[in-house]
Amino acid sequence: MLPPTAAEHVAWEDASNTAVRCGGYLATIGSAEENAFVASLVNGDGHFFDGAFEGGEHRRVGPWLSLVKDDASRPWRWASGAPLDYTRWFRQVPKVGGAGILYVAYRANQLPLTATIETWGARDRALPTPGFIAELD
């Protein structure tokens, strides 16, 4: 896990490259129990989440995971190559429009700011997040 300083945010590609340089990859999640555990690692530290007003909603966005949809005609996939056996979308499975590529981070519209976030949301690469979660081999 890497929480940035208050002024830093990280793009998905930079997070993934950093995880690889450290001998790992961005986190993959294969079950509800694993998701609850991974979320518990970051939910107690406010540095991992941003509150923002985007798309007409108050959103809390957290660290990157390795889930990516890089082609509208292909399914979501873990960048690590792990099978996609579990998801925990905030509302619904996001769809890619046009030539966009979507990456996944923890996300919810939960207040108060101390609420536990275990759901995921898709983000564009142009919208960095406050940190990422890596698995090390």
pLDDT at 29: 96
3-class DSSP state for residue 38? helix
Q: Are 130 and 62 in contact (CB under 8 A)?
A: yes
pLDDT at 115: 66
3-class DSSP state for residue 126? coil
Q: How far is CA 51 from CA 13, 61, 110, 136, in A?
A: 22, 7, 10, 29
| Residue 114 banded pLDDT, cuts 50, 70, 90 | low
Alpha helices in the chain (DSSP H): 12-21, 32-43
- On average, the pLDDT of the chain sits at 82
Q: Are 76 and 91 in contact (CB under 8 A)?
A: no
- One-character DSSP codes across 48-76: G-EEEEETTEEEEEEEEEEEEE--TTS--
In angstroms, rounded to a whole number, what is the distance separating the alpha carbons of residues 123 and 68? 10
Q: What is the DSSP letter of 125?
A: T
- Its pTM surpasses 0.85: no
pLDDT at 100: 67
12-136 to CATH, choices 3.40.50.1370, 3.40.309.10, 3.40.50.1240, 3.10.100.10: 3.10.100.10
pLDDT at 6: 47
In angstroms, rounded to a whole number, what is the distance separating the alpha carbons of residues 47 and 98? 33
pLDDT at 25: 94
Task: Render pLDDT for 63-108 as a digit per residue (tens, 0 to 9).
Answer: 999 999 887 778 899 999 999 999 999 887 877 665 567 889 888 7
